[in-house]
């Protein structure tokens, strides 16, 4: 990390601008989903969120849980029905198979209660470290850094880290921030990436943390 970055100060400035940020199942950091935010539902919603927009995740999760509210109901449903309900999230066939299998395992192997165990989470279909960490952080309140495309891109763009992949970024960010802020890294950087640090055309003149961003300072000097 370059000198003078002050990562904790940077995160607090993002909180001042963006509030609490964006969490799984919330499209703008303000809306509350129609379904209950228990660990199992958050896991399913996070799986549905892969490779789609936030509003599509919200619509698909609302549709699914309004008709199939829990692991037992989803596990017993036909794949075609699950595909129909989650279609707005994209890749319905692939996601329906994963959602049904996750539901079956939670129901049959864990008594319908998703455990707060990263090894169990990582054993589920379509669950990698980002999804597992999101569930640990947002469903169980366990400190974890969730590294999605926004977090990996922005932390490297700023010069907070110099990493090649999400796993390296996760490890580096865990060393930069105290554990009580790990969850906030994802929620605040995601919101920042949605409204200011856009992937194709970052709005550097509007950035509240340009003072610690390598890309923003370079652009400002041109």
What residues make up the domain containing 162?
Answer: 7-22+144-221
What is the Cα–Cα distance from 54 to 37, expressed in whole angstroms?
16
- The token pair at 85 is 């309900």
What is the Cα–Cα distance from 114 to 10, expressed in whole angstroms?
34
Query: Residues 156, 201: one domain?
Result: yes
Phi/psi region, residue 127 (left: phi>0; alpha: psi -120 to 50; beta: rest), is beta
Query: Residues 49, 124: one domain?
Result: yes
What residues have CB less than 8 Å from 111, skipping those under 6 apart?
none
pLDDT at 31 over 80: no
Whether residue 216 lies inside any domain: the answer is yes
Confidence (pLDDT) at 55: 86
Query: Residues 128, 210: one domain?
Result: no
Whether residue 33 lies inside any domain: the answer is no
pLDDT at 154 over 70: yes
Say what the pTM is: 0.86
CATH number of the domain that residue 129 is part of: 1.10.340.30
How far from 97 is each of 83, 133, 148, CA to CA, in Å? 9, 22, 23
Q: 188-197, pLDDT tens digit by residue?
A: 999 999 999 9
Query: Residues 43, 136: one domain?
Result: yes
Judge whether 137 and 182 are in contact, CB under 8 Å: yes
Task: Read off the pLDDT band of 23 (50, 70, 90).
Answer: low
Query: Residues 131, 148: one domain?
Result: no
pLDDT at 103 over 80: yes
pLDDT at 4 over 90: no
Task: Read off the pLDDT band of 46 (50, 70, 90).
Answer: very high
What is the Cα–Cα distance from 198 to 14, expressed in whole angstroms?
15
CATH number of the domain that residue 202 is part of: 1.10.1670.10
**How many structural domains is the chain composed of?**
2
Q: What is the DSSP letter of 143?
A: -
């Amino acid at each position: 990390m370059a000198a003078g970055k002050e990562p904790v100060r940077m995160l607090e400035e993002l909180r001042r601008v963006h509030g609490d940020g964006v969490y799984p199942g919330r499209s703008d950091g303000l809306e509350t989903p129609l379904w209950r935010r228990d660990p199992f539902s958050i896991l399913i919603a996070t799986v549905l969120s892969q490779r789609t927009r936030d509003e599509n995740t919200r619509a698909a999760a609302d549709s699914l849980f309004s008709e199939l509210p829990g692991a037992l109901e989803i596990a017993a449903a036909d794949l075609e029905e699950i595909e129909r309900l989650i279609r707005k999230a994209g890749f319905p066939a692939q996601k329906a198979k994963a959602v049904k299998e996750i539901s079956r395992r939670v129901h049959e192997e864990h008594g319908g209660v998703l455990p707060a165990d990263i090894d169990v989470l990582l054993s589920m279909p379509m669950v990698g470290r980002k999804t597992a960490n999101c569930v640990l952080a947002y469903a169980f309140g366990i400190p974890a850094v969730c590294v999605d495309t926004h977090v990996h891109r922005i932390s490297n763009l700023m010069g907070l880290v110099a990493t090649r992949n999400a796993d390296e970024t996760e490890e580096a960010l865990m060393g930069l921030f105290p554990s009580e802020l790990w969850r906030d890294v994802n929620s605040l950087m995601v919101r920042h990436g949605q409204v200011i640090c856009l992937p194709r055309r970052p709005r550097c003149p509007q950035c509240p943390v340009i003072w610690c961003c390598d890309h923003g300072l370079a652009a400002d000097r041109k």
